[in-house]
Amino acid sequence: MSIEISVLRGRIENAAEAVGPLWPLRTFNSANPLSGFETLPFDEAVQRAGHLFRGRGYPSPTTFRHAWERGAIQPNLLRDRLKKHDITSKPEETLATMEANDVPSTAAPSDQRLNRLMSKWLAAFFDHGQAAWPMPNRADGFFASWRILAPFDRDIPGIRQTSDLPSTKLDAFIEALDGVPESEWETIFTHHLAALPGWVGLIRWQERGTAKEWGKAKPITLGGYLAVRLTLARLLDEPLLPEDATANGRVHPDDASLPAIWLSAWEETYRQGLLDDLATSAHQPTKETGRPDAQLVFCIDVRSEIIRRHLEATGPYETHGYAGFFGIPMEHEAYAPEGEVGERVKACPPIVDPRHRIAERVAPNRSEEAERYNGWAGLNAARQKLVKTLKNDVAAAFGFVEGSGGLFGVAMALRTLLPHKIYDWIQSANERIPRPSSFTEVTVDRDESLDEEDALAVGLSDQVKVVYAEAAFRLMGWTETFAPIVVFTGHGSQTPNNPFKSSLDCGACAGNPGGPNARVLAAICNDSDVRDALRDRGIDIPDDTVFLAGEHNTTTDEVRLYVDEENPPVDADALARLRADLTKAREKAAAERVGTMDAQLLSDPSRETERRAADWSETRPEWGLAGNAAFIVGPRRLTNDLDLDGRSFLHSYDWRVDESGTALETILTGPLVVGEWINMQYYFSTVDNAVYGSGSKITHNVSGKVGVVQGNGGDLMTGLPLQSLYLDDDVPYHDPLRLFAVLHAPVERVGMILQRQDTLKRLFDHEWVALTVMDPQQDNTLLRYEPGGTWASVMSDDRTVPELLPEAEPTS
Amino acid sequence: MTDQPQETTESPKRQHRLHPLKKIEIIVRGEKEKFVQDLLEECGATGYTVHRDIAGRGAHGFHEGRLLFNDRAGLVMFFAVGDDEMIDCVMDGLTPLFEKSSGVMFVSNTQVVRLEKFLEEDEK
């Protein structure tokens, strides 16, 4: 049998659509685990995926019961919806039916042995510096390096030497697919790829070519994975397509209708409440506030809403929301002493490729601080290296434990019993040892001398600087009234011993803290040439406005400003006032958040957040983006009187200064799409934590520094841990609701954008995201997007009976 | 795809000769850029040209990217030139892809002056 390799490649590519990419822990990115099914309506997608991954697609009856009992689902809404589906039973009866029908299948997949074997080899291949003795020959690729070692694996029957195995990947496919028609390949490949969505997702991430160094050192492709897996299936005498994979396990549509109805009633309850609040707020007269003392731009992240609300209540401050990478598609190179290379990380959203390298370099007159830092960093690196060597060396390990056990024991006891002290110690160390952000500057200017072959260009050209600055203000609809101090505030979390730290950092910065991006945009906006160019384009920033950068610690709610303390660029009193108010806002925000984690600890909420930031045994340093349910695009005046409970992404936008709709289009195709990824990750990780999440942190094991497995092996877990979503084993804190986008913009403009953006329109048509427009040209009337392209007016007195409006005219 | 036989032609006015080859133009969604790149390389294309962020209307409606915040939503267009074997190989890989993903390919006859630029080492 002959196989065209390019046909094989095409079929594998199609089959791989079912499995979304998985980012390694270091840059854990939120992604919809069902992204490959977004071409289907939501209800159909969860059923198909449910069969393939054996995962639940809707909240469990227990979750619905908790929501029902606390009044999160309005009985009238639910009854109406049931009636529309000709279901006359009472809500409680339908809940009892769901509970009776909820018998989850616990049968293990028939090819479990194959899964375990593959996982073992993939873990060895993917190891990223955790193993003391790494797998050899990895540079030759997964299939080739496996082929050499496979004869030594006693779990693989019938192989005595390498030559017993197919010599190339193509040969492996020729042998495995002998007699199988091409029309069946995709089904077979899909099954084998979906059997281990964690490892396969990681291969997909690597295949995208974003990690060039990694790809060169350890090349692995889906073709290589399938070649090994199909060969193993043959050797283990397992069928190419197991019976449980081919059986029609799709849930009958009627079986899923009750959960779908309950979910939509729950969503509608939340959405109507939000729309009521927004409608009330929109009809309030606009308050004239004058020039604020300071304006702070936060990430659109739902966590920002809490600190923004409290800061605005503290004094004459205004806040805005913008994607937390501040529109700078960059790779960040951390500071490193001369002669060493700082760590380079992508610092922009998963759907954007970085285009510039921005490095931290010692600022003029700051070399003394840099020297002090280098000395400390050198000592620390040597200590870590020594400990690792002593632990891993067979001869030294025993003596090491004998000699240092006491010391480590004391450290462990301190960390466990007195995490507050550890926090204080870290703080005081930070005060003594300079941080790189205090003695470095970022290479914002284009610097060809730092360019390297096969790497991104360093710095930004003058023209590009203006583009990024203008984009920021245009997208936020902010073209006038600039305060004397404007702070771009990135965000990051603080949590020790947490493989999922990246999931708590900024999603728009590829799971990294957003401070470096904030520094770049602030530097650009302080550039007088950029300001001149902006003035020519109608954005007139007064000469006395100074842009600063800062970072919001989402675990403790502290906001740290990057300011040269000896020579502050703004009025010292104004800066001191801002800092004092940030501290006040922090205390209120921390109290609000601690109340949702453990109301008994409210005596000193800020201190409690500090403990969580330093406690190595804390499984829930913060809630992250749990609770997220809405994405509001509009001016802050629409929301600044509302308590949105930390559940809304807030993107600033002013329809009056975006006649072409370009800014709105950029927001909808960029930040909103990332918001949907995050929302779907939280949704699926909640509805089936074992399949789409990552289970309990207590039994996590980090594998190869790239991912986590449950227990001693198996597939990589793909989503969020239980403790990030659940109050306890059964009660979710996160309400698994699909994202609700509310846009304050003319409906015609939104219609035009949907005509142009097919992928975006599909998200709404297929009900992955719901959309409602508040049209300022129609007295802020609310119009709901109906799948297919029509708009229904949302009546304030009777929102459940929409009036259908004609479809918006296509314009292109 | 047109399949008229072509022969090497000599320009009457100049010293150079034109050699017949085939050209393939491929338009896919941004997210398939890597797949097409790998396919072209595997099929022995000696080079190709990519246009990113192009716009157009197809069976699935109008497509237009907004490069600033989303590199995946736009369309990309590839041009490559090669012999029949290379073009067939690329077509074999794209045919299954287009069963599932949106995209188009066009193959046409073309002529080049410097033949050696478009053929792999062992074909010259």
DSSP track, A317-357: EEEEEE-TTTT--EEEE----TTS---EEEES-TTS---EE
From the list B61, B66, B96, which residue is nearest A665 (CB)?
A: B66
- The region, left, alpha or beta by phi > 0 then psi within -120 to 50, assigned to residue A158 is left
Q: How far apart are CA A59 and CA A262, in angstroms?
A: 9
Distance from the A328 Cα atom to the nearest Cα atom in chain B, whole angstroms? 9
Query: What's this model's pTM, rounded to 2 decimal places?
Result: 0.92
Decide: A303 and A625 in contact? Cβ < 8 Å.
Answer: yes
Interatomic CA distance for residues A51 and A57, integer angstroms: 10
- Could you give the 3-state DSSP secondary structure of residue B11? coil
Query: What residues have CB less than 8 Å from A628, skipping those under 6 apart?
Result: A302, A647, A648, A649, A675, A678, A679, A682, A734, A739
pLDDT for the residue A181: 95
A510: which chain B residues are within 8 Å (Cβ-Cβ)? none
Element of type H or E holding A502: helix A501-504
pLDDT for the residue A804:
40
**What per-residue string of b and e applies to A527-546 under the rule 16 or more CB within 10 Å gives b?**
beebbebbeeeebebeeebb
Q: Which residues in chain A touch residue B89, judged by CB atoms under 8 angstroms apart?
A: 4, 6
Show residues of chain A in contact with B70, CB under 8 Å: 351-352, 669-670, 673
Interface residue B41 vs chain A (CB under 8 A): no
Q: Which of B38, B62, B96 sits opposite A756 (nearest CB)?
A: B62
Pick A398 or A99 by higher pLDDT: A99
According to the model, what pLDDT value does residue A363 have? 92
Measured CA to CA, the distance from residue A20 to residue A42 in angstroms comes to 16
The answer to whether A11 faces chain B, any CB pair under 8 Å, is: yes
Closest residue in A to B86 (Cα) is A6
Predicted pLDDT of residue A735: 98
pLDDT value at A753 more than 90: yes
Contact A94, A262 (CB under 8 A): yes
A741 contact B CB<8A: no
B116: contact with A, CB 8 A cutoff: no
Instruction: Supply the pLDDT for residue B9.
Output: 66
d(C-alpha A59, C-alpha A589), whole Å: 30
Which residues on B lie below 8 Å from A673 (Cβ)? Answer: 70, 73
CB of A10 within 8 Å of a chain B CB? The answer is: yes
CB–CB contact B73 A207 (8 Å): no
Rounded Cα distance, A99 and A108, in Å = 23
Tell me the average pLDDT of chain A. Answer: 91
pLDDT of residue A187: 95
Is residue B104 predicted with pLDDT exceeding 80?
yes
Nearest residue of B to residue A759 by CA position? B73
What is the pLDDT at residue A391?
Answer: 72
Q: Report yes or no: B39 at the A interface, CB cutoff 8 Å.
A: yes
Task: Write down the domain spans for chain B.
Answer: 19-113
Lowest mean pLDDT among A127-141, A612-626, A630-644, B110-124: B110-124
Residue A806 has what pLDDT? 42
Strand ranges inside A479-613, DSSP E: 485-492, 546-553, 559-562
A182-194 and A197-207 are packed helices; what angle lies between their axes, rounded to 10 degrees?
Answer: 110
Residue contact A662–B35, C-beta within 8 A: no
Task: Name the nearest CA neighbour of A715 among A229, A235, A351, A345.
Answer: A229
Report whether pLDDT(A251) > 60. Answer: no
Q: How confident is the model at residue B32 (pLDDT cuts 50, 70, 90)?
A: very high
Q: Which two tokens stand for residue B48?
A: 């190709």
Tokens, residue A245: 């994979």
Residues 6+ away with beta carbon under 8 Å from A474: A657, A658, A662, A663
Q: How many CB pairs under 8 A join A and B?
A: 91
DSSP track, A707-774: EEEETTSSSPP-S--GGGTBSSSS-BSS----EEEEEES-HHHHHHHHHH-HHHHHHHHTTSEEEEEE
The answer to whether residue B93 neighbours chain A at the CB level (below 8 Å) is: yes
A554, A560 Cβ separation under 8 angstroms: no
Of B35, B69, B95, the CB nearest to A671: B69
**What is the model's pLDDT at position B17?**
85
Q: Which residue has the higher pLDDT, A242 or A292?
A: A292
User: Can you give the pLDDT at residue A810?
Assistant: 42
pLDDT band per the 50, 70, 90 thresholds, residue A377: confident
C-alpha dihedral (A139, A143, A149, A151), degrees to nearest 10: -160
Residue pair A282/A778 in contact by the 8 Å Cβ criterion: no
Residue B36: burial class (beta carbons within 10 Å; 0-12, 13-18, 19+)? buried
* C-alpha span between A558 and A491 (Å, rounded): 10
Q: Which of A34, A63, A51, A7 is nearest to A247 (CA)?
A: A51
Model confidence at A812, pLDDT cuts 50, 70, 90, reads very low
Enter the tokens of residue A571: 């009025």
φ, ψ of residue A194 in degrees (nearest 5): -75, -10
The rounded distance, in Å, linking the Cα atoms of A484 and A476 is 18
Quick: pLDDT tens for A324-361: 999 999 999 999 988 888 999 999 998 888 999 999 99
Mean pLDDT, range A671-685, rounded to an integer = 96
pLDDT higher than threshold 90 for residue A243: no
The Cα A455–Cα A457 span in angstroms is 7
**Cβ of A665 under 8 Å from any chain B Cβ?**
yes
Lowest mean pLDDT among A229-238, A419-428, A495-504, B102-111: A419-428
Could you read off the pLDDT of A435-487 as tens digits, one per residue? 898 899 999 999 999 999 888 999 999 999 999 999 999 999 999 999 999 99
Q: Amino acid identity, residue A733?
A: Y
Task: Give the best residue of A11, A13, A203 to mutate against chain B (max B CB count within 10 A).
Answer: A13
Mean pLDDT of B40-50: 93
What percent of chain A has pLDDT above 90? 72
On chain A, the residues whose CB falls within 8 A of the CB of B57 are: 812
Confidence label for A83 from pLDDT (cuts 50, 70 and 90): very high
pLDDT score, position A417 = 80
Residue B81 pLDDT: 94
Question: Of A345, A376, A378, which Cα lies nearest the Cα of A360?
Answer: A345
ipTM: 0.85
Lowest-pLDDT choice from A114-128, A363-377, B9-23:
B9-23
Asked if B73 and A665 come within 8 Å (Cβ–Cβ), the reply is no
Q: Which of B60, B65, B93 sits opposite A10 (nearest CB)?
A: B93
Of A329, A698, A702, A680, nearest in space to A502 by CA? A702
Q: How confident is the model at residue A802 (pLDDT cuts 50, 70, 90)?
A: very low
Compute the average pLDDT of residues A165-175: 96
Query: What is the arithmetic mean of pLDDT over A107-130?
Result: 91
pLDDT class for B16, splitting at 50, 70, 90?
confident
Q: Give the chain B residue nearest A323 (alpha carbons).
A: B69
Which residues, numbered 178 to 197 in chain A, qualify as contacts with chain B under a Cβ-Cβ cut-off of 8 Å? 186
Query: In this predicted structure, what is the pLDDT of residue A413?
Result: 80
A252 pLDDT tier (thresholds 50, 70, 90): very low
* CATH number for domain B19-113, candidates 3.90.226.10, 1.10.260.40, 3.30.70.980, 3.30.70.120: 3.30.70.120
Give A268's Cβ-side CA count (13 Å radius): 20
Q: Which helix (H) or strand (E) holds A359?
A: strand A356-362
A382 CB-side CA count, 13 A: 6
Asked if pLDDT for residue B4 goes beyond 70, the answer is no
